[in-house]
Structure 1
Amino acid sequence: MKRDYAVIGLGRFGGSICQELNQEGMQVLAIDKDEDKINEFKNIASHAVMADSTDEATLRELGIKNIDHVIVAIGDNIQASILTTVVLTDLNIKKITVKAQNDYHEKILNRIGAHQVVHPERDMGKRIARNIISNNILDYLELSDDHSIVEVKVGERMRGKTLVDLDIRANYGCNVVAIKQEKDINVSPAADDVLEEGDILIIIGSDKDISRFEKNLVID
Structure 2
Amino acid sequence: MKIIIFGLGNFGMSLALSLTETGNEVIGVDKDLTKVDLVKDKIAHSVCMDSTNELGYQALPVKQADMIVVAIGENEGAAIITTAIIKKLSNAKVISRSLSPIHDTVLQAMGIVSIVHPEQEAAEKLTNKINLKNIVDNFKIDAKYSISEIKTPPAFVGKSIIDLDIRAKYKLNIITILRKKEKTNLIGNTTSIMEVIGIPAADTIIEKNDILVVFGTNDNISKICENHD
Please state which band the TM-score falls in when normalised by the shorter chain: 0.7 to 0.9
For 1:92-131, list aligned pairs within 5 A: 92-131=90-129
In the alignment, which residue of structure 2 is the partner of 1:210?
221
Contact 1:65/1:91 (<8 A) preserved: yes
**1:147 Cα offset (Å):** 2.4
Given the superposition, is the C-alpha separation of residues 209 and 100 from structure 1 closer, same or farther in structure 2, using an over 3 Å criterion?
A: farther
**1:202 Cα offset (Å):** 0.9
Residue identity opposite 1:49 in structure 2: V
In the alignment, which residue of structure 2 is the partner of 1:81?
79
Match of 2:62 among 60, 64, 72: 64
- Superposition TM-score, scaled by structure 1 size: 0.82
- Give the alignment's Cα RMSD to 1 decimal: 2.5
Residue identity opposite 1:188 in structure 2: I
Residue identity opposite 1:33 in structure 2: K
Kindly, what percent of the aligned residue pairs are identical?
A: 34
In the alignment, which residue of structure 1 is the partner of 2:3?
5
Matches of 1:105 and 1:173, distance apart in 2 = 38
Residue by residue over 1:125-181, the C-alpha shift from the partner in whole angstroms, topping out at 9 and shown as x without a partner, is 233233334553211112234322111121313223333343332333322111233
Contact 1:158/1:217 (<8 A) preserved: no
What SS is found at the alignment partner of 2:227? helix
Match of 2:199 among 162, 181, 188: 188
**1:121 Cα offset (Å):** 1.7
In the alignment, which residue of structure 1 is the partner of 2:27?
29
Residue identity opposite 2:209 in structure 1: G
For 1:165-204, list aligned pairs within 5 A: 165-183=163-181, 184-204=195-215
Matches of 1:193 and 1:41, distance apart in 2 = 44
Matches of 1:102 and 1:158, distance apart in 2 = 44
Matches of 1:133 and 1:79, distance apart in 2 = 36
**1:11 Cα offset (Å):** 0.7
Matches of 1:84 and 1:208, distance apart in 2 = 40
Residue by residue over 1:70-94, the C-alpha shift from the partner in whole angstroms, topping out at 9 and shown as x without a partner, is 1111013222222222222233432
Aligned residues: 216
Unpaired runs of 5+ in structure 1? none
Matches of 1:110 and 1:209, distance apart in 2 = 33
For 1:128-143, list aligned pairs within 5 A: 128-133=126-131, 136-143=134-141
**1:14 Cα offset (Å):** 0.6
In the alignment, which residue of structure 1 is the partner of 2:150?
152
Residue by residue over 1:158-216, the C-alpha shift from the partner in whole angstroms, topping out at 9 and shown as x without a partner, is 223333343332333322111233355344323343322111211112333323333x3
Residue identity opposite 1:40 in structure 2: L
Runs of 4+ in 1 over 4 A off after TM superposition: none
Given the superposition, is the C-alpha separation of residues 46 and 189 from structure 1 closer, same or farther in structure 2, using an over 3 Å criterion?
A: closer
Matches of 2:84 and 2:56, distance apart in 1 = 14
Residue identity opposite 1:193 in structure 2: T
Given the superposition, is the C-alpha separation of residues 27 and 41 from structure 1 closer, same or farther in structure 2, using an over 3 Å criterion?
A: same
Given the superposition, is the C-alpha separation of residues 200 and 103 from structure 1 closer, same or farther in structure 2, using an over 3 Å criterion?
A: farther
Given the superposition, is the C-alpha separation of residues 56 and 128 from structure 1 closer, same or farther in structure 2, using an over 3 Å criterion?
A: same
What SS is found at the alignment partner of 2:37? helix
In the alignment, which residue of structure 1 is the partner of 2:16?
18
In the alignment, which residue of structure 1 is the partner of 2:186?
none
Residue by residue over 1:102-136, the C-alpha shift from the partner in whole angstroms, topping out at 9 and shown as x without a partner, is 44433442442324222222222233233334553
Contact 2:62/2:90 (<8 A) preserved: no
